[in-house]
């Protein structure tokens, strides 16, 4: 946003004493939203945080730091990248120019220039790549109906004008999105990584499979070798790119979290933990809540949805909330006949049972995460050169 608010900044790779020195130098101009002495610990969070500025410190291992700088430019291209060096280095200067860094500063020489740059950034509009909303559905354990909810929630979203929805199967080894939809999905996440430089609206319409109800589908890779080749970085890169073209990206993360699935959940704006009213499910839900709180540092990004709700079950809403230590944010009633009919026919609830209570329950989950994101023209802010 445009104004005079402090610049939301990530400090990565800085020794504590250097970071403290910068905080004092650029005080009131900089809001540090993440600080990690080991840059690797913070890189995975950048997509979710979307900082206006990322500052990287070049210490003894300049080559490694420059690799991190390339990843920053790749993962959060809208962020201003600033490299801070302990001493002048021609190779670092050359790479900083190639990456389009906002600034390159040598400690003790250019600190006044850093203050000037932050004064400028305070008054600039930050066009982050957060147009699209990423929502992950995570099963408390297997058999919670996570995939059924994911596909029907994507279908419900796609019914609303102005919403452009993508569904990604992140249960890489056991995902069943394509099976549930009875849909050929020849284009998978791995192919998207390969073709990511080609993305635009027309290319997406031509290449990414689209369900008849309107949402696009990216399945897990068909071959095990291709699954093994997919990395957490590929997921980050894909989400950054897709957020430019979709208002909503739904992730079916399944229940068995791989590194790739965990990355997707970490990057999500909201995570819906899907559980049922049985005790083993509630035990797993409590653990999921603890994991997500530790991972994301924000309990408001986690929502609890109880699937197959039965008013006569042993565990009601009050008991569930007390046990898991988190509010129940939504329930989907138990309608075995309608859900089974969908699986057997390859149809969604909106097609097979549009007036059923379970269909309404799923549609009522949308306000848990939907911020009425409108389809806006996707534009990229020009990168600034060195001062």
Domain boundaries, the chain: 7-122, 133-368
Q: How far is it, in rounded angstroms, from Cα 46 to Cα 381?
A: 18
**Going residue by residue through the chain (387 aa), what tens digit of pLDDT does each one get?**
444 578 888 999 999 998 988 888 888 888 888 888 888 888 877 876 778 899 999 876 667 778 888 888 888 888 899 999 888 888 888 888 888 888 888 887 877 888 889 988 888 765 444 478 999 999 999 999 999 999 999 999 999 888 999 999 988 766 688 889 988 877 877 788 778 778 888 889 999 999 999 999 998 766 666 666 777 777 877 887 788 889 999 999 988 777 778 888 888 889 999 999 999 999 999 999 998 888 766 788 999 999 999 999 999 999 999 999 999 999 999 999 999 999 999 999 999 999 999 999 999 999 999 866 333 333 333 333 343
Buried b (16+ CB within 10 A) or exposed e, 116-136: ebbebbbeeebebbbbbbbbb
Q: In the CATH scheme, what is the code of domain 133-368? A: 3.40.50.300
- Of residues 208, 202, 206, 271, the one with CA closest to residue 238: 208
pLDDT given for residue 175 in this prediction: 66
Length of the chain: 387
Q: Classify domain 7-122 at the CATH topology level.
A: Rossmann fold (3.40.50)
150 three-state secondary structure: helix
Element containing residue 308 per DSSP (H, E):
strand 302-309
pLDDT given for residue 378 in this prediction: 36
Element containing residue 251 per DSSP (H, E):
strand 248-252
pTM, rounded to two decimals:
0.66
Question: Would the CATH topology of 7-122 be identical to that of 133-368?
Answer: yes
Q: How far is it, in rounded angstroms, from Cα 175 to Cα 138?
A: 12
């Amino acid at each position: 946003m445009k104004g005079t608010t402090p610049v939301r900044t990530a400090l990565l790779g800085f020794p504590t004493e250097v970071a403290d020195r910068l905080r004092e130098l650029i005080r009131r101009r900089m809001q540090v939203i993440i600080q990690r002495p080991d840059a690797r610990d913070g890189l995975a969070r950048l997509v979710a945080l979307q900082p206006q500025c990322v500052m990287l410190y070049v210490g003894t291992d300049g080559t490694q730091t420059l690799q991190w700088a390339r990843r920053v430019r790749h993962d959060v291209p809208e962020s201003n990248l600033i490299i801070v060096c302990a001493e002048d280095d021609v190779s670092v200067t050359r790479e900083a120019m190639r990456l389009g860094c906002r600034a390159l500063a040598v400690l003790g020489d250019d600190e006044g220039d850093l203050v000037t740059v932050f004064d400028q950034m305070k008054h600039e509009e930050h066009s982050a790549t957060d147009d699209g909303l990423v929502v992950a559905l995570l099963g408390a354990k297997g058999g919670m109906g996570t995939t059924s909810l994911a596909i029907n929630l994507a279908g419900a979203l796609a019914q609303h004008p102005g919403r452009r929805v993508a569904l990604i199967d992140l249960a890489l080894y056991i995902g069943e999105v394509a099976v549930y939809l009875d849909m050929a999905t020849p284009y998978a996440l791995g192919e998207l990584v390969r073709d990511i430089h080609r993305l635009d609206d027309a290319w997406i319409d031509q290449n990414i499979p689209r369900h008849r109800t309107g949402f696009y589908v990216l399945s897990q890779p068909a071959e095990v070798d291709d699954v093994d080749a997919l990395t957490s970085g590929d997921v980050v890169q894909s989400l950054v790119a897709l957020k430019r073209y979709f208002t909503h990206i739904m992730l079916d993360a399944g229940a068995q979290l791989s590194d790739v699935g965990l990355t997707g959940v970490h990057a999500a704006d909201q995570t819906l933990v899907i559980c049922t009213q049985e005790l083993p499910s509630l035990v797993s839900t409590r653990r999921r809540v603890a994991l997500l709180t530790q991972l994301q540092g924000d309990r408001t990004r986690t929502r609890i949805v109880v699937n197959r709700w039965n008013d006569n079950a042993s565990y009601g809403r009050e008991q569930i909330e007390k046990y898991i230590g988190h509010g129940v944010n939504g329930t989907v009633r138990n309608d075995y006949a309608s859900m089974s009919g969908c699986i057997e026919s390859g149809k969604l609830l909106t097609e097979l049972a549009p007036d059923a209570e379970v269909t309404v329950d799923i549609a009522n989950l949308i306000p848990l995460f939907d911020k009425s994101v409108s389809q806006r023209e996707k534009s990229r802010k020009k990168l600034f050169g060195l001062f």
